[in-house]
Amino acid sequence: MSVSEDLKILLLKEKMTITELAALAAEKSGKPYTVFGISQKLARSSMKYDELKFLAQILGYRINFEKIEE
């Protein structure tokens, strides 16, 4: 699954739009977040890890890496 799909699933689970996410991100960070900016980064797969981690945190989630057992 891609980062874009993962973030969209989290948005659906939290019943939140990208517009609402952008507004909360701008409010919490003091930096300008726009729907267009978030959408473009997701479409291009150019979102940085720290930014994804921050957006996930706003949605009430954390990124977790698990070791694959072979």
At residue 62, the pLDDT reads 95
Q: Please state, in angstroms and rounded to a whole number, the distance separating the CA atoms of residues 9 and 50.
A: 19
Between 54 and 4, the higher pLDDT residue:
54
Contact (Cβ atoms closer than 8 angstroms) between residue 55 and residue 7: yes
- Whether the per-residue pLDDT at 1 is higher than 80: the answer is no
Mean predicted confidence (pLDDT) in 24-52: 94
Q: Tell me which amino acid residue 57 is.
A: Q
- Whether the per-residue pLDDT at 4 is higher than 80: the answer is yes
Contact (Cβ atoms closer than 8 angstroms) between residue 25 and residue 54: yes
pTM: 0.87
Chain segment 43-67, per-residue pLDDT in tens: 998 999 999 999 999 999 999 989 9
Q: Give domain limits for the chain.
A: 3-58
